Amino acid sequence: VVVATIPSKQKGLLCCVVCEGGGEAWISGDHNTIIRIDIHGTVQNTVITKYNHGPRVISVTRRKELVYSGCNSRTVEIVRNG
């Protein structure tokens, strides 16, 4: 059962979604930005990555730090106060 549908103005393919809690989520696609949206789809924050084809994995820590990595990067990026 789908309980909500959140609109997104994400360009291109939507690859990763991670809930931050409080009605917000980080989303990323096949480009170099990760955006945080609220339940209405309004962009709350944007993080520009160094990965032209987008991060392949995103997550959020208990302290609400954004964590992401590229496909072949061998590094993990942690962003505080995204």
Average pLDDT value over all residues in the chain: 86
Tell me the per-residue pLDDT of 17-66, one tens digit each, with 9 for 90 and over: 898 877 899 998 888 889 999 989 999 999 998 888 778 889 999 998 99
DSSP letters, 36-69, are EEETT--EEEEEE-S-TT--SEEEE-TT--EEEE
Neighbours of 2 (CB within 10 A): 4
The per-residue pLDDT for 82 is: 52
- pTM of the predicted structure, to 2 decimals: 0.84
